[in-house]
Amino acid sequence: MAEAGFEPRIVAFLCRWCAGAGADLAGTSRLQYPPNAIPIRVNCSGRVEPSWVVDALRSGADGVLIGGCHPGDCHYMVGNYKARRRVYLLRKVLEELGVEPERVRLEWVSATEGARFARVMTEFVEELRRLGPLQGNGQG
Amino acid sequence: MFVCHCGKNIAGTVDVARVSEALARHPGVVYATHHEYMCSEPGQELLRRAIREHRLTGAVVAACSPSMHETTFRRAAASAGLNPYLVEIANIREQCSWVHEGPAATDKAIRVARTMVEKVKGNHPLTPVEVGHAEKCLVVGGGIAGIQAALDVADAGFEVLLVEKSPTIGGRMAQLSETFPTLDCSQCILTPKMVEAAHHPRIRLLTYSEVEEVSGFIGNYHVRIRKKPTYVNPDRCNLCGECAKVCPIRVPSEFDCGLSERAAIYIPFPQAVPSSYTLDEGSCLGLVPLRCGECAKVCEPRAIDFDMHEELLEEDVGAIILATGYELYPKEAMAEYGHGTVPDVIDGLQFERILSASGPTRGEVRRPSDGRVPKEVVFIQCSGSRDPELHKPYCSKICCMYTAKHALLFRHAVPDGKAYVFYIDIRAGGKGYEEFVNRAMEEEGILYLRGKVAKVFRDGDKVMVWGVDTLTGKRVEVAADLVVLAQAVVPTTGAPELARKLRAAVDAHGFLQEAHPKLRPLEALTGGIFLAGAAHAPKDIPEAVAQGSGAAAKAVAILSAPVLTHSPEVAEVDEALCSGCRICAPQCPYTAITVDEVAHVNEILCEGCGTCVAACPSGAMTMRNLSDVQVQSMIRAALSEVPEPAEVKGG
Ligand code: FES
């Protein structure tokens, strides 16, 4: 399915305290990564609604990243655990619908892990390049 | 729409004119421009003027991370009559221009800016929620940083709880002999502070205590502290010491770093605060007097009480200062230097005890194995530090200075002794520090050898040190009587776990993480929590004291505020839509939701995580200024194609 020169579109929901701060640190440290993802800042990964993810995939995204704090580190204590359960279920549903579950990624990135953020982004883009555009999204 | 160049930081990568032009055509945008430095006074004036002239109902500044200038622009907008919550920042620097290149960076900047315009279109004007706060401060750690912080907060007129896990305050500084570079007696300059803390009317000392649980938020933390029983009533204990004499138990003394022994009932050092013996439950034969009870029999003032129980204290505090200190890298980790297996290989703190007049040898330099006065002593710097392959990658900062001090003090104590110092390089940045190291280097009988030690091993009653002098390229072999390792500084065991309870981040080595490495060095990312001393990074005494005072000033700013404000960007219920299903309430980590017919959110307790919003099946629970509708249009703004430029510039 992969096409030459295909650039996936990604929406990244990043919690403000960890993943978002980690993304800022990647910037401060000038760590380059592919520009495919558009970040949307939320207070906590627990705020991310499964319907947003579906909405993004229907509106042309080839993948959705949800970035939160490491287990035990959520600024609101347990939001990331809720996110983990929701993403788990959502991926199952997507699979039933014929959408590769790998298109939805949940990653823990702390405020001090700028390098990890850049790596996660790079890997996700590579994976989506392999998967190719999401069916029905046209050119994506 | 205001696009910032940030000098070359943004404009060097992103075509800011193109961003502004593309956004000018975005639905709802009536004004778009770009400026060299939006955060400068002319930049802010540009924003204020546009708000007034165009009667803007919202503004987006595409610039650096909102963690930098959100407050700046919101304040500027407010002064021009626009509600601050109608201003948003599009992060096109940290998350765009600094990490991407070429036209793709400009494309992304446009998309990021569009998402924020969509968000602002759905924002409502809000006013901050006012909250009261506790007027007490919790200081965790009774070393010099914690003592200084406690004294400063208390002097400013606020109550302080000073929690220390060992039986006395004083921390590492109490164990030191003399301090560099003035060679002041460490205990002599510390004990007045300890006494002051003990007698301060607004400081409550909780020694032998640990913080067990923390909940709440800035201004309103609720803490639970566990105070272990000492089995000795400090008001009655007169320090006669009879109890320790009759105690049949001997265990290594923590205070003397294992170089001497103590009884199960003991006082760490004579000037301990509180001034009382402590019965260590762990090593005592048994608290049932039938099994031993010798100490209680000889205690004339009847201070020993086997029935003492642990206490659980619940307190409300407005601010928390973490000063949990450091310890040395464990001996077992440095097997290549024989540390932990060869008795005459010791660490820097042990040597402090040996040099100290209150120490196991009463200040005479004698080695642990046979009590002889060592004539040849090797000091090894960077033992476990600056070694990314095997040990800690960082510089422990204090070792160059204390090793110079050790070598000097050794030479003063043993005039015919010889001292060797192995070093990688000397770091003596600090007032009077360079001069001090020079004094040590020029002193006869102290030989500074640049190079690494390959091996340390026992040979009869000598400790052999094999190394290389990298300046001459020659192998060096010393048959030493004593080897002192400047072990790496690491955070106190258990401190990272405590930080986690407070949701204060730690770095990869377990040191507390500051909110900003340059501009907010005293604060944790979590509001109302401050850092002091070596818990944050290796530090010497003056730095720890300065940071203690700094953290205290930060804490006082909270404690003395008439009210604190709380973000109004929290959850809210549309009562018409709510079915009262109760799914939301158990999702809330703050018990901010109550449900009768419908759900209600306590906006003071709500921290705005949004977990309940995501769970609500009827869409009744919403997040102020980040509703589902807003996010949906943000998603679309992120994904829809960027139209071609209106006109081709520059032919
Ligand atoms: S705040 Fe980061 S996941 Fe909850």
Output the DSSP codes for B43-76. Answer: HHHHHHHHHHHHT-S-EEEEES-HHHHHHHHHHH
Chain-chain contact of B98 with A28 (C-beta, under 8 angstroms) = yes
Pairing of strands B136-140, B564-566: unpaired
Q: Nearest chain B Cα to A112, which residue?
A: B507
- What is the reported pLDDT for B647? 61
Chain-chain contact of B95 with A39 (C-beta, under 8 angstroms) = yes
Alpha-carbon distance B617 to B222, whole Å? 32
Residue located via tokens 């909270």: B558
Q: Nearest chain A Cα to B591, which residue?
A: A76
Residue of A14, A45, A66, A106 best suited for mutating to test ligand 1, as the one with most atoms within 8 Å of CB? A45
Is-same-fold flag (B136-228+311-325+492-559; B328-490)? yes
Chain-chain contact of B628 with A49 (C-beta, under 8 angstroms) = yes
Q: Residue B507 corresponds to which amino acid? A: D
The domain made up of B567-624 has a fold known as: Alpha-Beta Plaits (3.30.70)
Chain-chain contact of B105 with A51 (C-beta, under 8 angstroms) = no
**How remote is the CA of residue B84 from the centroid of ligand 1, in Å?**
25
- What is the reported pLDDT for A1? 46
How far the first Cα of chain A sits from its last, in Å, is 13
Residue of A74, A77, A78, A108 best suited for mutating to test ligand 1, as the one with most atoms within 8 Å of CB? A74
- What are the tokens at B309? 């129980």
Alpha-carbon distance B16 to B63, whole Å? 10
Within 6 A (CB) of ligand 1 lie A 15, 17-18, 44-46, 68-69, 74-76, 79-80
Considering only CB atoms, which chain A residues are within 8 Å of B111? 38
Considering only CB atoms, which chain B residues are within 8 Å of A46? 587, 609-611, 614
- What is the reported pLDDT for A3? 53
Edge-to-edge strands, sheet with B453-459: B453-459, B462-469, B474-480
Sign of the C-alpha dihedral computed for residues B72, B77, B81 and B86 taken in this order: negative
**How remote is the CA of residue B611 from the centroid of ligand 1, in Å?**
10
Q: Among partner residues A30, A41, A79, which is closest to B609 by beta-carbon distance?
A: A79
Q: Nearest chain A Cα to B109, which residue?
A: A38
Alpha-carbon distance B61 to B29, whole Å? 12
Cα of B9 to nearest chain A Cα, Å: 11
Chain-chain contact of B611 with A59 (C-beta, under 8 angstroms) = no
Considering only CB atoms, which chain B residues are within 8 Å of A82? 587, 611, 614-615
Considering only CB atoms, which chain A residues are within 8 Å of B93? 27
CATH tag, B328-490: 3.50.50.60
Alpha-carbon distance B600 to B113, whole Å? 34
| pLDDT tens track for A36-85 | 999 999 999 999 999 999 999 999 999 999 999 998 788 888 899 999 99
Alpha-carbon distance B413 to B403, whole Å? 15
Alpha-carbon distance B581 to A54, whole Å? 25
**B538 cis-preceded (ω within 30 degrees of 0):** no
- What is the reported pLDDT for B651? 36
Chain-chain contact of A30 with B99 (C-beta, under 8 angstroms) = yes
Cα of B613 to nearest chain A Cα, Å: 7
Q: Are B264 and B274 in contact (CB under 8 A)?
A: no
Considering only CB atoms, which chain A residues are within 8 Å of B590? 76
The full set of domain ranges for chain B reads 2-126, 136-228+311-325+492-559, 328-490, 567-624
Residue identifier of the C-alpha nearest atom 3 of ligand 1: A68
| Tally of CB atoms within 10 A around B649 | 10
- What is the reported pLDDT for A136? 63
- What are the tokens at B395? 């510089």
- What is the reported pLDDT for B216? 86
CATH tag, B136-228+311-325+492-559: 3.50.50.60
Work out the pLDDT band at A2, boundaries 50, 70, 90. Answer: very low
Chain-chain contact of A76 with B640 (C-beta, under 8 angstroms) = no
Q: Which helix (H) or strand (E) holds B224?
A: strand B220-227
- Which residues on adjacent β-strands are paired with residue B347? B485
- What are the tokens at B343? 């008795």
Residues of chain B with pLDDT under 50: 649-651
Residue A77 CA: which ligand 1 atom is closest?
Answer: 4
Chain-chain contact of B638 with A17 (C-beta, under 8 angstroms) = no
Question: Whose CA is closest to B112, among A133, A23, A79, A43?
Answer: A23
Cα of B620 to nearest chain A Cα, Å: 14
**How remote is the CA of residue B623 from the centroid of ligand 1, in Å?**
16
The full set of domain ranges for chain A reads 10-131
| pLDDT tens track for B13-44 | 999 999 999 999 999 999 999 999 999 999 99
Cα of A87 to nearest chain B Cα, Å: 12
Alpha-carbon distance B427 to B424, whole Å? 10
Work out the pLDDT band at A139, boundaries 50, 70, 90. Answer: very low
**Backbone φ/ψ region at B602: left (φ over 0), alpha (ψ -120 to 50), beta:** beta
Q: Among partner residues A11, A41, A48, which is closest to B639 by beta-carbon distance?
A: A11
- What is the reported pLDDT for A7? 94
**How remote is the CA of residue B414 from the centroid of ligand 1, in Å?**
59
Q: Among partner residues B93, B590, B640, which is closest to A27 by beta-carbon distance?
A: B93
- Which residues on adjacent β-strands are paired with residue B317? B221
Cα of A21 to nearest chain B Cα, Å: 9
- Which residues on adjacent β-strands are paired with residue B526? none
The domain made up of A10-131 has a fold known as: Rossmann fold (3.40.50)
Query: Over 50: is that where the pLDDT of A140 sits?
Result: no
User: Residue B498, CB half-sphere, CA atoms under 13 Å: how many?
Assistant: 28
Give the number of A-B residue pairs with CB atoms closer than 8 Å: 143
| pLDDT tens track for B405-437 | 999 999 999 999 999 999 999 999 999 999 999
Residue located via tokens 């001069």: B435
Considering only CB atoms, which chain A residues are within 8 Å of B587? 46, 82
Chain-chain contact of A40 with B115 (C-beta, under 8 angstroms) = yes
